Structure 1
């Protein structure tokens, strides 16, 4: 499913589309520019390493010329040992030269809508509550959950796509989902 966004005052509209294999190098370069080299040390990265994004939940924003202007991916996780399935969102990044153009918000809305359409029950992320709160994320349901490795507890946020999806969840998030194939591991490094 594709979503177009007309950014008021900006000539090119942006289109949210499924990420392709050809986008990988461009996405990685964009993440490096937007987040810096320390991005690979984050706790969320431990849950992504060696895995593929959740089926159908890796998106890029392209401008009118087809250039990747932003990216977001969602990953399969379980909530604690043998716990419920959920998604971990991240990283969300927009080319630094295009900040405040609405691309990040459009990517978030698109990712949430697609996750709901595909039947997922909850999305978690580590991020700033003032930004992600406008999409319905909060720390209200994450108190008994933890990330592997260091993180700031108040930044572990969740959004229930299905009411009650986070009832009774506890423990440390664990990676789930599809593993990368050997050739993908070498090109992702």
Structure 2
């Protein structure tokens, strides 16, 4: 199975999907830096945060990922998430409060959303905020798990007939296996 991170789902699902059926795509701070590079266009301060990551920061991201995965699993099945998961995501957001930082660009005032605190706390807060947005969205109940036998990836289908996390990855494997079953020698 291809272990390159999938991207393109809501940020919180992309984070949860860094835990495939085998291995961990965020096993080291370098893995986290690489993943942040893939998410840089939608994760504020990603490049700045990547430069200063430590093992403790990775642990904070892992905690957000685990609590997000647990909450998503419950909510998508219509069950209430644990109070612990929700409180942990709230604490991660509180650890690095967000502000709209005002600046003068020479002609007008600009506002850029920033978080206070250390790099790991800021990263965990951004990811916890993405989890909060996903969990509060009514679409969370539409999240599906990939139908490929050996895949645990989650996705939010844009089309109701979507069955796989990636048509190129799992969809191809399933179609090739079906073809082989139909055409194998007797």
Hey, which of these two has a bigger chunk of helix by percent?
Answer: 2
Hey, which of these two has a bigger chunk of strand by percent?
Answer: 1
Give the TM-score normalised by structure 1: 0.31
Q: Which structure would you say has the larger Rg? A: 2
